[in-house]
A and B are shown apart, each in its own frame.
Chain A
Amino acid sequence: MTQFLELLMASLAAVTLENVIFTTAFGTSTLIELTKKNWQILSFGGFITEFAVLSSLIAYFLEGLLISWGLGLRLMPIGYIISLGAIYILTLIGIRAASKKAFSAMKRYIHLSAFNCAVLSVLFTNSVNGSSLLDRLLFAAYTGLGFMLAAYILRINYDRLSSDRVPAAFRGFPIYALYIGLVSMIIYILKR
């Protein structure tokens, strides 16, 4: 029970205090697009989690191969793109096979949820840290969940952020950036 609680607390800390948006800014542009276009947070966040976890899995084995061939990690970005591309294609095929209606509704943002900084940062960070497979998969999952939390935090005050009362110069991207900055400030305080 204690271990479960510890894991829960560690997961909560990972999703909030190490939130991908508020501590590393990865995926911020994507997040703002998601909020502006009122896309489904759960589906989008789910796709990000899926891409991050599955491409981490493939990248882990690719990394092992590259190291065993003595090619060094400088070529890893190519490996990341290959693994991400493969998962992207398989996801599109899978959704289209499952439901054409769902495919036409989702296809416009699957591409955005695959090729963005948040997902790629997971792959890079895992390589830099050199962690085990389980740690990499957990990190990828936390990143996806952290993205969903960040999207939720942005969505709950969306009415005020998109209000006409906001001065014209600040309307749109600047006020979102300011809001994200203030939330990052709060998380920074808690981390200290």
Chain B
Amino acid sequence: MVDTISNSVFSASDRTELNRSARITLMLLALNVMAVYYYGARAAIVSGIAVLASLVTEYILAVLSKKSPRLCDIYFLSDGLLLALLLPASVPYRIVVFSSVFMSGVLRFAFGGNKNLIFSPPAAAFAFSAITWPQNVLRYPSPEPFGSLSLVSDLPQVLEHSFSYNTDISTSYTGLLEIIWGRLRGPMGTGCVLIIIICAVSLYFFKDIPASVLFSGTAVNMFLFVLFPFSQTGWMAVLYSLVTGSFMYILVFLACDPRLAPKLPMAGVLYGGLLAGLSFIFRKLLMLESSGVFALLIVELFASELERLSAVAGSAWERLLQRIKRGAVDAFIYIKFRTGRVDARLEEPSWDPRENASEKSVDSANEASLDGANEASLDSANEASLDSDLEKPRKDASGKASGGGASS
């Protein structure tokens, strides 16, 4: 009965979107559980406030703009959680409210909703908050198992820089177990990389996130950390590249956001690689906390250009492949028939002139028909490839306009 209702209420694309949002929300709730484990009920309150503020803003704006809110649009839930998990558990509640309202009202609604975004709403809202209130947003409490932070809005305790910030400037080390379980000073939901990797794998198998962005981002990040290490070298550098700087969280949940990630595979590779590169440079040169967020905003600015570039490169590559294929076919035919004529000349001719004449005429007739057939087939092949060349850019453009199918 539930299926019948949902089938009748939602279209196929809406159902896909709803399922995708639901899965991402579920993953984020799992990260929330870890945050509650380390920081107590306060973590849940911060997430709850973010979601509630986002929902209320969406509702008010929907009423003011006379648009009925869609049942399948639960992005307020996932965006609220995404923003909350980037913040420290100690963040004052009023900052959470302001950031969520700013995210939903200005960064999503003003740009025209989920289908017309340029910047990731949680990322831009976090960046704004980090610049405005750095002492509240970029300083973190210490995580403790079954911890319990005070529920008062402004915490009295002293807060410090994140584990990532400290590892970037000195060879501070922490136990492997702590790293695995995410017991690291930092944003609420970005420390537990084991869970994030499990989420990434499951989202990949559900085709909810583009593999090109995910793998290129991870690979480039690891490569840079090994080549230009901060404080750790070798395998520890690889581990730290995954664990520190909130990079994996930003890559999996923000950069691979289906609303914003490029649809074309090559664009996705460039997108992920650029994100990793810029994030690394900002950490190395500017010592920025959660530098991945700022890198993401820059890469998102040029995402449409990356799509255009890869579409152009893709069609140029297709044309090159076609030419190589045509050239190979021509070469093959040339070699085959040239070799055939040479073999014929090497055979001893029979001395019966009448036989020779009839053979020659048959041969020449055969050659003529073969040549004609070849030419015809070559011409038709050429026309077909030319047609396909002419068609392909249009198909690419319409494919791009329609948003494409599931990303690879």
Contacts and interface: CB of A to CB of B under 8 A. Distances in A.
A and B touch in the complex (CB under 8 A): yes
Interface of A: 153, 156-157, 159-161, 163, 165-167, 170, 174-175, 178-179, 182-183, 185-186, 188-190, 192
Contacts, number: 60
B29 interface: no
A174 B131 contact: no
Given A163-B112, A182-B124, A157 B294 contact: no
A156 B116 contact: no
A34 B128 CA distance: 28
Contacts of B106: 178
A179 B124 CA distance: 11
B83 to A, nearest CB: 16
B112 A183 contact: no
Contacts of B119: 182
B304 interface: yes
Given A182-B119, A185-B131, A189-B294, A174 B304 contact: no
A98 to B, nearest CB: 33
Interface in B300-330: 301-302, 304-305
Interface of B: 65, 106, 109-113, 115-119, 124, 127-128, 131, 282, 286, 288, 294, 297-298, 301-302, 304-305
A179 B118 contact: yes
Contacts of B111: 160, 166, 175, 178
A-B pairs, top 7 by smallest CB distance, nearest first, are A165-B112, A165-B116, A166-B112, A170-B110, A163-B116, A156-B305, A160-B116
A156 B298 contact: no
Contacts of A170: 110
A131 to B, nearest CB: 27
A157 B127 contact: no
Given A160-B111, A174-B110, A167 B301 contact: no
A180 to B, nearest CB: 12
Given A183-B301, A189-B127, A189-B294, A165 B115 contact: yes
Contact of B112 (A156, A167, A186, A190): A167
Given A166-B111, A175-B110, A178-B110, A190 B304 contact: no
A168 to B, nearest CB: 8
Nearest to A166: B112
Given A186-B297, A189-B131, A190-B286, A156 B110 contact: no
A170 B298 CA distance: 23
Contacts of A175: 110-111
A167 B110 contact: yes
Contacts of A178: 106, 110-111
A160 B118 contact: yes
A189 B124 CA distance: 12
Contacts of B304: 156-157, 159-160
A190 B298 CA distance: 11
Contacts of B113: 165
A185 B119 CA distance: 12
A76 B112 CA distance: 46
Contacts of B110: 166-167, 170, 174-175, 178
Contacts of A165: 112-113, 115-116
Given A156-B304, A167-B110, A186-B298, 11 more contacts: A157-B118, A157-B304, A160-B112, A165-B116, A166-B112, A166-B116, A170-B110, A189-B131, A190-B282, A190-B286, A192-B286
Nearest to A169: B65
B28 to A, nearest CB: 24
Contacts of A166: 110-112, 116
Nearest to A159: B304
Contacts of A167: 65, 109-110, 112
B288 A189 contact: yes
Nearest to A158: B304
A160 B304 CA distance: 10
A168 B299 CA distance: 28
Contacts of B282: 190
Nearest to A161: B118
Contacts of B286: 190, 192
B130 to A, nearest CB: 8
A188 B116 CA distance: 25
A185 B106 CA distance: 14
B398 to A, nearest CB: 15
B128 A153 contact: no
A178 B247 CA distance: 27
A43 B298 CA distance: 26
B182 to A, nearest CB: 26
A179 B119 CA distance: 9
A174 B106 CA distance: 11
Nearest to B134: A192
Nearest to B305: A156
Contacts of B115: 165
Contact of A157 (B297, B298, B301): B301
Nearest to A175: B110
A186 B124 CA distance: 9
23 contacts: A153-B301, A156-B302, A157-B301, A159-B304, A160-B111, A160-B116, A160-B118, A163-B112, A165-B113, A165-B115, A166-B116, A167-B65, A167-B109, A175-B111, A178-B110, A182-B124, A185-B124, A186-B301, A188-B131, A189-B127, A189-B294, A190-B286, A192-B286
